[in-house]
Amino acid sequence: MTDVRLTLWRDDATLAHPIEAASERHALRPRLYLEVEHDEQRGYGEVAAQPSALNGDPSVGEVVETLSTRLLPLVAEVTHREGAPPDWARIARWRGAHTSSRFAVALIEMAVLDFGLRSQSRSLAEEWPANFATPALATVSVLDGAAWTVRSAAARLRVKTRPGALTDDALSRLAELNKPVLLDFNASARMAEEVLEQVKRVSAVTQVVAVEQPFDVGNVLDHAALAARMSVPVSLDEGVRTRSDLDHIARHLTGAMVCVKPARVGGLAMSLAMIARANELGLAVYLGGFFESDFARAVHRRLAQHAVSEPSDIAPVPRGDLTEPEAIETSFGLGVTPSQAVLDHARRVVTL
């Protein structure tokens, strides 16, 4: 029996369709891949992170630091002591107070889940049968004049915006698509009036389903005051990290929506727990993402179809710097694995 071999890659993927947000232009997305190898069996995980820390989310460098100095050595230590990589259900308890640990734990958890399922010749589809035909949402921006690429199957639009007047062209394009929208302010608003004005303008051309994270993370009271003045719900995204956040939101925001992002909350097990808690509290919940590759998106799609009925961020994200497939289907494990083309494009940053 040999000890575990851990390899961490970083792939800076150029998105085929950059998205302008209130505080950042999503053009390049760092993705971290982890390979867990033990006794000739392998498992893979992935998280996408912000290039720089933003709105409470860590930078990719912070996530790499947490992995390399604390959590990957812990995986190696546990494997050496117990003779096998830790079970995936244990990993969520390893997260620490810093937000980078949640991303790091999510990466390790996915990799050891894949490893464990493959070792047992089982698949994630067996573990998480589909309970919903979860629709996809698409993301567009009204902050620049870039062309929008929206699949006809998308049931909802997340519309990146910020306070200020919308152009007639942006409103015309929203009207032409005629899909329900989430107005996503990414914590850029300061006054309720500027949000209400946009809701009014957009509601004149298409259905507004909710206003996503208009104010700063943790500012539930201003969100509640805004919700009392709108006919559409407030949705919290950056402000959703723990089950305590959900309890706080439900206490102050009746009928709110919440976006659960697996990397942000600490992985797949924590996502399932938070989705269940949101349902108990009467919060509409949808799954979000950080522009992951087709590999992690496929895993998140399986999670959404198992647990979430609301349109979720599970559609593929095309990249502009790689023409080969990013993921390959497998019989066991997560049902997909990163392609060799992706790993060849990435660079190794840690090997233990």
DSSP state of 298: H
Q: Which residues contact 269 (CB under 8 A, 6 or more apart)?
A: 88, 89, 91, 92, 109
Question: What is the rounded average pLDDT of the residues 3-24?
Answer: 95
Mean pLDDT over each residue of the chain, to the nearest integer: 95
Residue-wise pLDDT tens digits, 36-54? 999 999 999 999 999 999 9
Of the pLDDT bands very low, low, confident and very high (cuts 50, 70, 90), residue 145 is: confident
Q: 244, exposed or middle or buried, with CB in 10 Å at 0-12, 13-18, 19+?
A: exposed
Q: What is the pLDDT of residue 254?
A: 83
User: What does the DSSP 8-state code read for residue 70?
Assistant: I
Token reading at 189:
């608003």
Residue-wise pLDDT for 164-205, tens only, equals 999 999 999 999 999 999 999 999 999 999 999 999 999 999
pLDDT reported for residue 79: 95
Q: Kindly report, residue by residue over 298-334, the tens digit of the pLDDT.
A: 999 999 999 999 999 999 999 999 999 999 999 999 9
Q: Which residue, chain included where needed, has tokens 């659960």?
A: 260
What pLDDT was estimated at residue 255? 86
* C-alpha–C-alpha distance, residues 129 and 175, integer Å: 37
Q: pTM of the full predicted structure?
A: 0.96
Query: Given a cut of 90, is residue 215 above it in pLDDT?
Result: yes
Query: What residue ranges define each of the domains in the chain, with the CATH number in brackets?
Result: 5-123+323-351 (3.30.390.10), 127-307 (3.20.20.120)
For the stretch 100-139, pLDDT in tens is 999 999 999 999 999 999 999 999 999 999 999 999 999 9
Report the percent of the chain where pLDDT is more than 90: 94
All residues at 6 or more sequence positions from 125 whose CB lies less than 8 Å from its CB, including other chains: 302, 335
Give the residue-averaged pLDDT of 232-242. 95
Q: Is pLDDT above 80 for 2?
A: no
